[in-house]
Amino acid sequence: MAVKTGKAVRPFSGILRVIHRGLTPLLLVALFLPAPVRADVWSQDLLAAAQGGDADAAYELAQRVYAGQGIERDAAQAFQLAERAAGQGYAPAQNLAGFFHQHAIGTPRDLDNARGWYEKAAAQGYAPAWYNLGVLYEKGQGVAVDLRRASACYARAANSGAAASLLWIAALLETGNGVTQDIPRALEWNLVAAKVGLAEAQLGAGRLLDSDRAGARRPAQALLWFDRAAAQGNAEASYRASLLRLSGATGERQTERGIAQLRFAAEHGHTGAMLRYAQALDAGEAGAPDYARALDFYAQAADGGDPQARRVIDRLLGPAPGIDHRGDDWRSDPFR
């Protein structure tokens, strides 16, 4: 196997490596690779470890070869490495081999083999494999559509103690950091973790649903997830929910609850909410105008670095030279 050297980069941790830590160590057997591989120093170290029987190293190297991290990208070689490590019983590699079979990466598409590898990894409690099995049953890929079984697989994925790691995978897919960017799948991963109550995943699902990045914008569904995260004290989610309610994006404008959520976010340190709540107080959206409180929230937002709030403060009080605009001098209320 000849792998051509590319530009050296920092070690690539991969999409799925983050969630195999802490699993019961697996009994490793020797892994023999054909011909020496030419690669950067990090990959050479991985290769040496893989040749010594380290399936984790072979798995990592497979991801680097697939992604072209410091090595010329070669999907066929990545598949061979992943399947060799999978053959050692290493769950992350089994899941990766299944993914390659499912998506015809480096090998012809083979949904039976994909399901087989996913099942082996899932039997070891590997959360992404449960998720990928759920996809097969939901979409009827190589099996009959079975939504009940798909839901059970998704639940196993989320309840396997890896919800936070599922959120990390979603972030990688959303940003394309080291992997192919896939916004719709990032939303799917967020939803899996959101359904077991992870507030950050609920926020992430709402954020993607409130945009057109994962298909048509769905503000009503976004609001549902923002509300669930806000109920757990997430200030960002509370702020985003308030914007949807105050804009009437889901139908009728919900001023009272929108202002309440906006106030919560502002009082819990969200800079954008401080500015918007100050505007609401200034304009009388929350009842009679309250200029003194509006000024205080403008000041807090400016203190948090919001340039619009800083301009309001400077317009009201004047940019006095020598006065620290982050201190108490510029928080004084000229209306008192």
Question: For the residues of 115-132, what is the DSSP string, one character each?
Answer: HHHHHHHHTTT-HHHHHH
pLDDT for 61 equals 83
What are phi and psi for residue 234, nearest 5 degrees?
-80, 110
Q: Distance between CA 66 and CA 227 in Å, rounded?
A: 39
Q: How far apart are CA 238 and CA 228, in angstroms?
A: 9
Which of 13-17, 186-190, 260-264 tops mean pLDDT? Answer: 260-264
Q: At what angle do helices 291-303 and 271-283 cross, to 10 degrees?
A: 160
Give the mean pLDDT of 289-297.
Answer: 93
Buried b (16+ CB within 10 A) or exposed e, 109-132: ebeebbbbbbebbbebebbbbbbb
Q: What are the residue ranges of helices labelled H in the chain?
A: 41-51, 55-67, 75-86, 91-102, 111-122, 127-139, 147-158, 163-175, 183-194, 199-209, 219-230, 235-247, 255-267, 271-283, 291-303, 307-317
Comparing 44 with 102, the larger pLDDT belongs to 102
Q: Which domains can be identified in the chain, with CATH numbers? A: 1-161 (1.25.40.10)
Span of 38-52, 141-155, 223-237, 308-322 with lowest mean pLDDT? 38-52
Mean pLDDT of 192-212: 91
> How far from chain centre, in Å, is Cα 264?
25
Which range, of 128-132, 171-175, 180-184, 284-288, averages the lowest pLDDT?
171-175
pLDDT digits (tens, 9 = 90+) for 128-163: 898 889 889 988 999 999 888 887 887 787 666 566
**What's residue 298's pLDDT?**
94
pLDDT above 70: residue 311: yes
**Stretch among 116-125, 191-200, 206-215, 322-331 having the lowest mean pLDDT:** 322-331
| SS3 state of residue 333 | coil
- pLDDT band, residue 208 (cuts 50/70/90): very high
For residue 55, what are its two tokens?
């399936």
**What's the whole-number mean pLDDT along residues 9-22?**
31
